[in-house]
Amino acid sequence: MSKRLFYPNHLIWQYADYHEEINELLPEIEELVSDWAAIQYNDGNVSDFFKTEYEIRLASFLAYDNLLPIEARKAFSMLPLLCLQENESKSYISKALMMKGKRKGRKRGFKDGQRIRDVEKTISDNPNLTKTKVYEIVADKHCVSSVTIRRTFERYKKNGENKKLNSPVQMF
C-alpha cells in the first residue's frame, strides 16, 4: 500500500481491527470504494451501489469517516427515504427512523368535516325539515348512505361539538 486510504483513527479501521481482519478487510474495502467511485448514480437506483446489508454497513462507516465517494454518498443518502417510503404502508415501528405504527381505529378526514358542515348548513337553511330528510339530502350529495351521514353527525355531536371544523389540525 503506497498511499493508504484508511488510518487508525477511522471508524472503518476500528471495525476491521475489532474483527481482527485488518489485513484482509481493508484491501477489500478499498476495492469496493474504487468500484463505487466508478459508478454513476441514477435517480433512486441504490441497488447499483449496495448489493448486501454488509455493504450498507461498510458504507455507513465510510460515510462517518467522510471517505464515501460522492456518487455512493448520493445513493447512501437516499436509503432512509426509500426505507420510509417502503414502510409507509406497513405498521413498522422504528425509533431510529422516527417511524410509528399506524394509528388504530377509524380514520378521520376531510370528508367527515365536509359532511358535518353540509348537515349543519341544511338544517339552518331548512328548519322545517326532519333530521331524517336532512340526512337523506346530504347523503345524496355525497353518494353515501343516510345512515353513514347520521352516524357521522351524531358522533360529532357526542364527541366534539365544541371543536372547530375549520381547523385542519382537528379534521385529520
- 83-137 confidence digits (pLDDT tens): 777 777 677 777 777 777 666 666 666 678 888 889 999 999 988 999 999 999 9
Tell me phi and psi for residue 99, to 5 degrees: -100, 130
Residue 58, judged by CB atoms within 10 A of its CB (0-12, 13-18, 19+), counts as buried
pLDDT, position 2: 38
Decide which of 136 and 162 is more confident: 136
pLDDT, position 107: 63
Which grid cell is 15?
471495525
Q: Which residues on adjacent β-strands are paired with residue 99?
A: 94
pLDDT, position 33: 86
In order, the DSSP letters of 38-53 are HSPP-TT-GGGT--SH
pLDDT, position 133: 93
Decide which of 107 and 168 is more confident: 107
27-71 pLDDT per residue, tens: 888 888 888 888 877 776 777 778 888 888 888 888 888 888 888
pLDDT, position 161: 57
pLDDT, position 72: 87
4-20 average pLDDT score:
79
Which residues lie below 8 Å from residue 73, measured CB to CB, with a gap of 6+? Answer: 63
137-158 pLDDT per residue, tens: 999 998 899 999 999 888 888 8
